[in-house]
Structure 1
């Protein structure tokens, strides 16, 4: 989920209000909030071997015009963790991103189906972003996370970049930050993201992300 804000002021409804930097701030109904942690590396980390038993996993490039497949994988992974930025983006804007040669995106294949997504964004000079990284719950625990991170690092550092970064938030898996740190990333920034709840606008099912209940 791409951060929208990381400051002491956020847009809420039709006005602006201050977030307390030393206490609790009540949000209007219909809003969601998360703490975002950004992490980076400025050189390739020591390579870690693939775990045993991951020979059945493969990366398959998603066609740049195949928006339907991209969104199907995105929904498969993201409805547990409030991935919504691609769902609320106008189709023409999403198509422009996916058609940019500086953006790479792959489905993870296992047992004949799509079970993961890897998206790398090199549109900023001299840097790469691990834009989306996720696996279906059915393959978690099989070593696929380490396998996929190894592929991400290989592809990122094959480019002439000086920085590779990622962000995660408190709506994501609780082990995400530690996983990224074990992979060689170092935290460098923390912010607050506030947005309209995508379940109320119809972009996601009302039942999605039950650990972050809807407040109407």
Structure 2
């Protein structure tokens, strides 16, 4: 269904976001690493509690909830797949960034989740993590690396991805239940997305 031009009402209790899909089909020239004391750790067979904790700390402010709501067996089947790689950005001995690469579609890599915790936003850690993500993605025989972001995410996300070499190719509107109304997310997060009951 194509949304008509003009305004469309969103029911109370729902949230709506514009989702932008971005891709690259050629490996970009590497960008310089910013200075910082970060390391990357691959997490083999990620424990679900560990994954959800880091996922929440990175994405809660942006209403990341799909993996919080997902049944354990479904989440385990994804993140513990041999074709999915999960990494943590480590700072001062603590996991402070999340990177999930999905190679389940032949010749493609989807950067499914990417981000750093609030304490590292603006430090260069995101640039450093993206440099590692692209190195890892393009180390496989892929012809396409892609991801998506939405208007709930950091306002600089699209420009950051474009500077990294991605180009937008698709836009969608996502409407879903507001996770702050069913305890999937705390009521006081994502103040840039008002709660309407």
TM normalised by structure 2 equals 0.96
Equivalent residue, structure 2, for 1:139: 120
- Contact (CA 8 Å) 2:40, 2:87: kept in 1 or not? yes
Tell me whether 1:157 sits opposite 2:132 in the alignment: no
For 1:168-187, what per-residue CA distance to the aligned partner results, in whole angstroms no more than 9, with x for missing partners? 00010111000000000011
Matches within 5 A, 1:1-216: 7-8=1-2, 19=3, 21-51=4-34, 53-54=35-36, 56-216=37-197
Contact 1:35 1:190 in 2 (8 A): yes
Runs of 4 or more above 4 Å deviation = none
CA distance in 2, matches of 1:63, 1:126: 22
Gaps of 5+ in 2: none
CA distance in 2, matches of 1:95, 1:109: 22
Q: Deviations over 1:37-61 (max 9, x none)?
A: 111000100111211x22x101112
Listed as ranges, the gaps of 5+ residues in structure 1 are 1-6, 9-18
Q: Secondary structure at the match of 1:208?
A: coil
Alignment: residue pair count: 197
Q: Using the alignment, how far apart are the partners of 2:80 and 2:170 within structure 1?
A: 30
Q: Give the CA deviation at 1:215.
A: 1.3
User: What secondary structure does 1:123 align onto?
Assistant: coil
Distance 1:65 1:141, change over 3 A: closer
Specify the SS of the correspondent of 1:87.
helix
Q: Give me the whole-angstrom Cα distance separating, in 2, the residues matched to 1:82 and 1:50.
A: 29
Contact 1:119 1:130 in 2 (8 A): yes
8 Å Cα contact 1:73-1:117 kept in structure 2: yes
Alpha-carbon separation, structure 2, partners of 1:95 and 1:165? 22
CA RMSD of aligned residues (A): 1.1
How high is the TM-score relative to the length of structure 1?
0.88
Where 2:171 maps in the other structure, the secondary structure is: strand
Deviation at 1:92, TM superposition (A): 1.0
